[in-house]
Amino acid sequence: MFYYTEPVLLLTLDSRHLNLIIALMHIDLHNHTRFSYDSNRSMEETVIEAIEKNVKVFGFSDHLDFNENDPGNEYYNGCMQKKEFERLSKKYEGKIELLLGIEASLENAYSEKVRNAFKKHSFRYRIMSAHFVEGIVISDWIERTEREARTSDEVDYSPYFDSLKRIVSFQEYDILGHIDYYKKYSKFTDHHKTSQKHEKEYREILKKVVDGGKVIEVNTSGLRHSCREQFPSTEILRLYRDVGGEFVATGSDSHKSGDVAFKFDEVYNIIDNLGLKILKFK
Ligand SMILES: [Zn+2]
Ligand SMILES: [Zn+2]
């Protein structure tokens, strides 16, 4: 199903300045549109932005959520999205390769619904992400969990890792999304310390990803938020490589104009320096 590629250098001529510009061939597999409850972009807008930004492979990954207390519950309409996807694939053929994927959340209460949706829609790839902890959306969970704490040392993040462990045990996914996502909402900034404290858990989770033939995602949306760091951090990527990980998927988690392939040159450098390779699809 997968195949893998090294980042490819493209030479393009900027006619205004007559300078040679070296750009990387970008693969952005994590993008939201109005098929997600938290974005109002049309699919076509995102494709046009991707072409402008020299993205060669572009994947839609709208939310698939079944948590009953969440506004995204049962919001996804795969049949309608497929029609628009087919129209755009024809219209932009030769300019960009389009893929129809999904970003699913997982909790025990609705794992069967997730399975059924995967069967019904046959997505080209499935990103699975921990958006809920102890039944609560992660932004609220972090706020509640950190409320009384004065330092990150006083916080018990272990339920978050339980959510990640549930995904890697579930096995029906291709890409584990934004692993250290809790830091997006954390009031603390010493994430390095928290990663070290939970190294054993990260190692266990990453090993299961590798052993299951899956990959992790490098998600650049963290660079747009106060944590100012991609998900996951470079040290977790190093850990992934140390347990045998070779390939990563790259995604911007775009929800609005300007987000597509956000800071990809920066993270492609990090990935390259670690000796990891970028995932592409057949
Ligand atoms: Zn997500
Ligand atoms: Zn997302």
- What's the average model confidence in pLDDT over 33-59? 97
Token pair recorded at residue 58:
């572009």
Q: Please answer whether residues 155 and 134 qualify as being in contact, where contact means their C-beta atoms are separated by less than 8 angstroms.
A: no
57 confidence band (pLDDT: 50, 70, 90) = very high
What are the structural domains, with CATH classification, of the chain?
A: 2-281 (3.20.20.140)
Q: How far is the CA of 105 from the centre of ligand 2 (A)?
A: 10
Taking each helix axis from N to C terminus, what angle separates 111-121 and 78-91, rounded to the nearest 10 degrees? 40
Least Cα distance to 261 among 225, 222, 220 occurs for 220
Neighbours of 276 (CB within 10 A): 20
Distance (Å) from CA 220 to ligand 1 centroid = 11
CA 11–ligand 2 middle distance (angstroms): 31
DSSP H or E stretch at residue 26: strand 26-28
Q: Give CA 66 to chain center in angstroms.
A: 19
Distance 13 CA to ligand 1 centre (A): 36
Ligand nearest to the CA of 59: 2
Measure 128 CA to ligand 2 centroid, in angstroms. Answer: 9
- What is the average pLDDT across 64-93? 96
Q: How remote is the CA of residue 97 from the centroid of ligand 2, in Å?
A: 20
For residue 31, pLDDT beyond 80: yes
pLDDT average, residue stretch 198-206: 97
Identify the band that residue 219 occupies on the pLDDT scale cut at 50, 70 and 90. Answer: very high
pLDDT of 145 > 70? The answer is yes
Counting residues of the chain whose pLDDT is more than 90, the rounded percentage is 89
pTM of the model: 0.92
| Range name among 14-18, 53-57, 99-103, 169-173 with the lowest pLDDT average | 14-18
Please state the rounded mean pLDDT for residues 273-279. 94
CA 161 to ligand 2 center in whole angstroms = 19
pLDDT at 281: 67
Starting from the CA of residue 131, give the closest ligand.
1
- Report how far ligand 1's centroid is from the alpha carbon of 105 (Å): 8
Q: What integer pLDDT is reported at residue 13 of this predicted model? A: 44
Looking at every residue in the chain, the average pLDDT score rounds to 92
* Distance from the alpha carbon of residue 16 to the mean position of ligand 2, in angstroms: 36
Measured in angstroms, how far is the CA atom of residue 279 from the centroid of ligand 1? 18
Residue 130 or 282, more confident: 130
Could you tell me the distance, in angstroms and rounded to a whole number, from the CA of residue 25 to the centre of ligand 1? 24
Provide the 10 A C-beta neighbour count for residue 228. 10
Please tell me the predicted confidence (pLDDT) of residue 280: 79
Query: What's the gap in Å between 48 CA and the centre of ligand 1?
Result: 23
